[in-house]
Amino acid sequence: STQMFRRPLLQLTRSITTTSRLNMPIQVGETLPSVDLHEGTPKDKVNILDLFKDKTGVLFGVPGAFTPGCSKSHLPGYIEDFQKFKDKGVDIIVCVSVNDAFVMTAWGENTGAGGKVRMLADPTGEFVKAIDLAFDATPVLGNVRSKRYSMIIKDGIVQTVNVEPDSTGLCTSLSGELLKQL
């Protein structure tokens, strides 16, 4: 009879530990989670919280590398506005997508992001799930992906967060909109 009580308790514990902050997206004033992402290759890990330590930075997420909206508008805007962000005190601009490191590297090379926007891969979606900005894009992109968002981060703490209402649109998370908030 002891086993009957252990199993439900174990199930309850599992459901609590897998719930992300009561299913609320990351908010202003919260600290970025300490999650390792990939840059360049899967073995080259970058801790996102450590990356923004002692820095003012821009973090933006896209549903997928090489997808039309991401490649034609979202990423190019941040590349083009690189100097404007620098002039406003931004130390680092980071793009995150649920893709592998090789795809993110190729996309960065293809768009001219080098030296301007760091291209970080979140291959399993661990980071976007931790900040509750993941959505199920299985019918179109084959798996869970990142909602389209942008943030201003200071020393690892979220100062501004913009999430596209429909997860994929191109309005509130564009570089021009974020520049207005600095």
132-123-42 Cα angle (round to 5): 140
95 classed as catalytic: no
Q: List Cβ neighbours of 129 (8 Å cut-off, separation of 6 or more).
A: 20, 144
- Encoded amino acid at 16, one letter: I
- Encoded amino acid at 40, one letter: G
Contact (Cβ atoms closer than 8 angstroms) between residue 94 and residue 180: no
Question: 155: alpha, beta or left, given left = phi > 0 and alpha = psi -120 to 50?
Answer: left
Q: Which of 59, 62, 70, 158 is catalytic?
A: 70
E strand or H helix at 95: strand 92-97
How many CB atoms are located within 10 Å of the residue 178 CB?
25
User: In terms of residues, how long is the chain?
Assistant: 182
Rounded-to-integer distance, Cα 26 and Cα 118, Å: 21
Residues marked active site are found at 70
